[in-house]
Amino acid sequence: MALNQSELHSSLSEIITGVESSTASSSSSSSSNSNNDDITPFPSPVLSATSLAGLSLSSDGELEPEVDDNKIVTEEDRVKALEIKAEANKAFGAKDFNKSIELYTQAIALNPKDSTFWNNRAMSKAKMEEHGGAISDATKAIEINPAYSKAYYRRGLSYLSILRPTEAVPDFKKAIKIEPTNKPARDQLEVTVKLIRKIEFEKAISVGETESASSKCLALLSSGACALDTSASPSFPLPIIPQDPNARYKPTKDFVESMVEIFKDDGKIPKRIAWEIILGCKDVIEKEKTMVEIKIPDGVTCDIIGDTHGQFFDVVNLLSMTTPPSESHYMIFNGDLVDRGSWSVEVALTVFAYKWLYPEYVFINRGNHETNDMNKVYGFEGECKAKLGEMTFKLFADVFTSLPLAVLVSATQPPASSKSEGSQPAILSEGRRRFFVCHGGPPVSKDGVTLDEVRKIDRFGRQPGQEGIMCEMLWTDPQEPTGRGPSKRGVGLGFGPDVTKRWCDLNKITAVIRSHEVRADGYAIEHDGLCITVFSCPNYCDSTGNKAAYIRVQANGSLSYHQFDAVPHPPIKPMAYSSGFNFGGF
């Protein structure tokens, strides 16, 4: 049994915008499920069950006010709460999810005994990728009404969203037991069980593998097993092909720009060309340090691009605004090129091709979605297999583990102003501004971590794991309160402004520039200007209504922020190739 495509995408657009990792179950979940039961092959950071239990964070990172479960609810309270709920529903429909969370919170304060308020707030939090809070709210709804089928379904989806499928299965089963005609829950249970079996099978067959996908692909090229086939695009402008059949191809500007135009017209490139692009990019990035260090010469600009998540047509629009990379225009792609959007292959090939063409002007950081577990659930694996075959996905996955984790951007000219992006004087290094660019944030689970420790990370062949510097750089999130705490996404670590200040002072960093989180305006300046978020997916997953942005850095270290909106794209929905939330054999 399967949902048709319109039903599937309709339900997805209402409940999912994406996720970031694995988490343990909340205190009310089945005790038979534990961290050791996680069948994800490369588990991402896990938040402990004791940390998640009761977690309820507001949209600005503050802990939400405690609710008086014993409150005597008057008729006036009930009426007022329902009025506020109606306002919250309108805000949700208008994609103002921060406002809907705030309004549902007000309704809960008036009447904490209405389970629908909790479940509706859980849905709003899921839209903002706050799956830890969504699980907590859905759990509360279940405590109030143990027969609330939608709350079990909501919680199951949030568990699945943070890559805990074994936690999701009992909730889907419970939803079906309460409501046997609940077709979405039944279909989601079916696909989740298939996902678990698939992961278990792939773990079993991978035992003992020692040869990398890159080595296998190079051997296949040498044997002539992946010959160039131009039948799909006979007029495709090829890169430079040496006469020696075993020699590697070389990129040209015309080739890269024409490839982008072919992708815009829904065209494809031959598998051999795709392999050459990926391997060509690998040749460049494996020579780079874990923390790449660049200086911006006078007359040069550097654009920092946040998450792009397979939204190819928005990337093309972005390149038209920034202009493509060149000797006078550097570009940093700050991770999460792939997943969720249904043109992740085209985005990854475009960015990799520019890196292959301009190794000294284009830089790519690894994001938390350049990882095997995320790709398996959020679409890139299925998309890559559908468009270019399984070996191409394995090649991409191999090369992802070679991507650097950070770029240290240094100005070469004195600053025009002594002021930072916040209210304090800018932190300078030898009289110049410099910025630490990474996907999630700096390694701040403890004080005293230096740039030298970042430089020494052995990234090659590694997944981020569940702790340590590499994990933190892909997963951390800023928070409003001081100190450290659990991330509201239900994964990993949140770090406060005092933590950021100590790290920037220690390492003489003017500001951390990171991505990893949707922002309504496309960017946000936080922690008194020391932490800046940039997110480059407009109308994220076709459902969030946010603007996107990129940041331009000048040679004197001044920053400018450039917003843009989504552009039309062909009628293929996000998550079309997902194996976690989709059907159809991918």
d(CA 500, CA 506): 10
Strand partners, 548: 564
Q: Which residues contact 86 (CB under 8 A, 6 or more apart)?
A: none
Place of tokens 């654009």: 303
CA atoms within 13 A on the CB side of 204: 6
* Torsion sign, CA atoms 131, 530, 527, 306: negative
Q: Are 583 and 570 in contact (CB under 8 A)?
A: no
DSSP 354-374: HHHH-TTTEEE---TTSSHHH
Sequence letter at residue 474: L
Q: Give the helix ranges, DSSP H, for 286-371.
A: 312-322, 344-357
In total, the chain counts a number of residues equal to 586
Token pair for 254: 């015309």
Query: Of 480, 493, 488, 514, nearest to 444 (Cα)?
Result: 493
Compute the C-alpha angle 548/357/380, nearest 5°.
50
Q: Are 68 and 112 in contact (CB under 8 A)?
A: yes
Query: Of 373, 379, 303, 304, nearest to 348 (Cα)?
Result: 379
Token pair for 108: 């809960």
Strand partners, 486: 493
Query: Of 83, 70, 94, nearest to 117 (Cα)?
Result: 83
* 369, 439, 516, 527: the active-site residue: 369
Query: Of 263, 273, 264, nearest to 238 (Cα)?
Result: 273
Place of tokens 């010959």: 227
Parallel, antiparallel, or unpaired for β 531-534 and 523-526?
antiparallel
Strand partners, 438: 406
- Any catalytic annotation for residue 439? no
Query: Of 475, 522, 504, 506, nearest to 370 (Cα)?
Result: 475
Query: Of 585, 586, 582, nearest to 4 (Cα)?
Result: 582
Q: Are 440 and 514 in contact (CB under 8 A)?
A: yes
Q: Are 549 and 158 in contact (CB under 8 A)?
A: no
What torsion do the CA atoms of 205, 207, 211, 214 make, to the nearest 10 degrees?
60
Residue 89 CA from chain centroid, whole number = 27
What is the radius of gyration, based on Cα positions, of the chain? 24
Q: Are 158 and 127 in contact (CB under 8 A)?
A: no
Parallel, antiparallel, or unpaired for β 434-438 and 511-514?
parallel
H/E element, 198: helix 183-206
- Give the long-range contacts of residues 319-324, CB within 8 A, separation 24 or more: 319/260, 321/550, 321/562, 321/564, 322/550, 322/552, 324/257, 324/354
Q: What are the catalytic residues? A: 369
